[in-house]
Amino acid sequence: MDDQRTDRESGHPSVNTWMFEVYTETNPAFEQLLIDEVNRRSGVLDCREDEGKGFVILTMEFTDLKAARNAVEASLSMGDVYIEGPVPYS
């Protein structure tokens, strides 16, 4: 068995999940819109960190890299967000 398998699309080591983080102002209604968009693309909210300074970090998890990339593009088009990822989730 080859322990050095890679994802064909990305060239990254084969992983089970991918994640990206969304940095945005604290706004529960907007956060829910982002989460709904991620859910439509087969992702889930894994973690919500309230930094207490008027913004939150939402960690979104996916099993499919292409779906994660599509969700990043959709999230960026929704408004004032900063996104890191997608990257392998470890």
Per-domain residue ranges of the chain: 18-88
b/e 25-50 (16+ beta carbons within 10 angstroms → b): eeeeebbeebbebbeebebebeeeee
What average pLDDT does the segment 46-64 reach?
94
At residue 1, the pLDDT reads 34
Which residues does 26 contact at the CB level (< 8 Å), separation at least 6?
Answer: 50, 54, 55, 56
Q: What is the pLDDT of residue 3?
A: 38
Beta carbons of 2 and 49 less than 8 angstroms apart: no
For all residues of the chain together, what is the average pLDDT? 88
> Contact 57/26 with Cβ under 8 angstroms?
no
- Average of per-residue pLDDT across 41-63: 94
The whole-number average pLDDT for the span 29-51 is 95
pTM of the model: 0.81
CATH number for the region 18-88 comes to 3.30.70.260
